[in-house]
Amino acid sequence: MLIRRLSAGVASAALVCATLSFAPAAQAREEGMWTFDNFPLARVNRELGTNLTQGWLDHIRMSAVRLTTGCSASVVSPEGLVLTNHHCVLECVQNLSSPENDYVQNGWLTATRDEERQCPGMAAEILTEITDVTDQITAAGEGLEGDAYVQARTAAATRIEREACGDDDTRRCQVISFYRGGEYKLYEYDSYSDVRLVFAPEMQAGFFGGDPDNFNFPRYALDAGFLRLYRDGQPVRSNHFLTWNPNTPAEGDATFVAGNPGSTARLLTVSQMEAQRDFDLPIGQLQRSELRGRLIAFSEQSDENARIALDPLFGVENSFKAIYGRDLALNDRAFMQRIRDNEADLRARVAADPALAERIGDPWAEIDAVQDDYADLFLPYRQLVSSAGGGSTLYGMARAIVRATVGATPGASTAALERALSTDAPIEPELEEMYLSFWLSKTREYLTVDHPAVRQLLGSESPEALADRLVSGTTLMDREARLALLRGGAEAVQASTDPLIQFALANDATSRQTAAEWNNRITAPTNRAAERIAAARFAVYGNEAYPDATFSLRLSYGRVAGWTYRGQEIEPFTYINGLYDRATGSSPFDLAPQWAAAQDRVNGDVVFDYTTTNDIIGGNSGSPVVNAAGEVVGAAFDGNIHSLGGNYGYDGTLNRTVVVSSSAITEALRNVYGREALLHELGVH
């Protein structure tokens, strides 16, 4: 599954090095996660034989949806119907479930609009406008160094966003960095906070094959779900939506994926990638592995524990696989040599132009010099700042309330935070206690018992006892209580007897100090150097380069295609008949009951899943796969095992996107689930 993840299985290093390309001069055909204001329209039309226009691009952009849960989607009817992946709505399905009604296992099947229920905490965003604000951001940091430089730029971005959107909760404005600081753009979105669940198949249908099939092909997963956008209690009427095409594209047909890839690191320097290999990846994997074990142990205690831990465990396991794939890539000598060769090529081109060399200097050496400080500060920064709380929702709320009141910037808006704190998403105290105790124990283990921050965090308590006291005593489980604290401001927060609020207050200064030191020694010098590297890329390659992914809207182009590996040809299509052939009756290859009952009704010759050459990564989950006519022909939900190293490079001969076909979704809605009203809305009769 692609959401914030990449990979699965055991693969040799050869899988991830093959023919990766990084510099535009050697760019592989069909590589790139392109922004909509720099899509290579003429080149794509020439290579694919299409006739795409700016109007086509605008229509796709206005039909594409970003889900705040970390996925992509698309509007597919004039009444706000949205297509995405099953695993992108899984959290919603679980939040709407109860011990008496387990919709994760049984599916969510609505017959009327009245049965559509709001997904707690989910919002949807549609990109309406892009504005270059690079000059404003860069000017804000002029003459400043370290943390002051970082804070000034952050404040400038906040000001730009506020001036553009104000407190209008129907819009969202976000300043996004591209090319590692080479450009800054203001992205303006229409925002929808009322997103309702329309359809989700059973977990076993959406994730048939489980872990063994994950990030592999052939696949037989109905990884699809439908949502609906509402405003003022009514479905949103939209002039921009993708027409549903119930037919599978043919091998070789052009395909386009419009979505929000989460993050890539293809433009990092060699030393930055080595730091990820040596610090970020192994430490993260150790903690994910242990947390996975704790979640499994918790799940085994009861059926109810298994139900509430299903989605968190699903996420941890997928994240583990994603980072495993990245680790393989960065430990492959041939792969890293290609990284070094491409960096050396860019540096040589800069050196060959004296004027450019004088303007750019040697930012690569500057980033190299930062890495010793990175090694010194990584663990404190990770434990006390970037991963503080260990994933606890309650801790995140407490820290946000404290920082929005006691540490607020004068005039700062709390409207967005108030909306976030208003969520009805259930909070499971047992999981909250697990996350907090795990984070506290790991912080003590990594920073040692005598570290001042650890002594301040724990005092004389054990991680387990402290976590129990904080969770059992907090009032933040109650929406009105947390909103009252936020609205009461600094006086209410400082006077609060809530143990979690007091814990956040007591430790906030240390967290801020750690973050400031990181900004002084890591963020600021790295950003300054990275911007000059971006300038070098622009000077050498012009606009024939795409930026790293930043969970912002992108468009990739490709074709329906299989691949060949070690002499074995993998066909690009699977068929519904194959689902029944693959079923064994034992998990994870057991059929969902409704699919078992429908075997005599479904057309086994319908294409189930297929593969394309589109360049995608985690965050693209749920992205519409669109043909040259602008019709949706499926939803991207995975990558094959060869895309494990996609965070650092694209291999056009092996990397493949895995798509659930619109034909399979249509067949399932008609002959498995009997959703005739939904088919009618999609224009299928």
| Per-residue pLDDT, 10 | 27
Which residues are registered as beta bridge partners of 419?
none
Reported as half-sphere exposure (CB side, CA atoms, 13 A), residue 411 has a value of: 6
Residue 212 to residues 569, 589, 682: CA-CA distances in angstroms? 20, 9, 33
Mean pLDDT for 3-7 is 37
DSSP annotation string for 57-102: HHHHHHHEEEETTTEEEEE-STT-EEEE-HHHHHHHHHHH--SS--
CB atoms inside a 10 Å sphere around CB 43: 12
Residue 73: strand pairing partners: 65
Task: Choose among 585, 568, 546: nearest CA to 642.
Answer: 568
Placement of tokens 């100090």 in the chain? 513
d(Cα 228, Cα 169) in Å, to the nearest integer? 18
Helix or strand run (H / E) with residue 541: helix 524-541
Q: Band of the pLDDT at 12, cuts 50, 70, 90?
A: very low
Q: At residue 2, does pLDDT exceed 90?
A: no
CA nearest 399: which of 373, 426, 421? 421
**Residue 224 DSSP SS3:** coil
pLDDT of 384 strictly over 60? yes
Tell me the torsion sign for CA atoms 558, 35, 169, 432: positive
Phi-psi region of 266 (alpha: psi -120 to 50; beta: other; left: phi over 0): alpha
Provide DSSP, 41-52: HHHHHHHHT---
Give per-residue pLDDT as tens, 134-165: 999 999 999 999 999 999 999 999 999 999 99
Mean pLDDT of 250-256: 98
State the Cα–Cα distance between residues 352 and 148, nearest whole angstrom.
Answer: 35
pLDDT at 247: 97
- Which is more confident, 542 or 681? 681
Given a cut of 90, is residue 72 above it in pLDDT? yes
pLDDT of residue 5: 34
Q: Quick check: pTM over 0.85?
A: yes
User: Using one digit for the tens of pLDDT, what is the confidence trace for 525-568?
Assistant: 999 999 999 999 999 988 788 999 999 999 999 999 999 999 99
Check if the beta carbon of residue 373 is closer than 8 Å to that of residue 522: yes
Cross-strand pairs, 564? 569
Q: What is the CA radius of gyration of the chain?
A: 25
Give the bridge partners for 82, in sequence order: 75, 227
**Strand, coil or helix: what is 416?**
helix
Question: pLDDT band at 408, cuts 50/70/90?
Answer: low
Please list, in sequence order, all residues whose beta carbon lies within 8 angstroms of the beta carbon of residue 238, skipping any fewer than 6 positions away. Answer: 63, 75, 77, 78, 79, 80, 229
Q: Is residue 9 over pLDDT 80?
A: no
User: End-to-end CA distance of the chain, in Å?
Assistant: 31
Contact 424, 509 (CB under 8 A): no
The residue with greater pLDDT, 644 or 83, is: 83
- Domain positions in the chain: 364-546
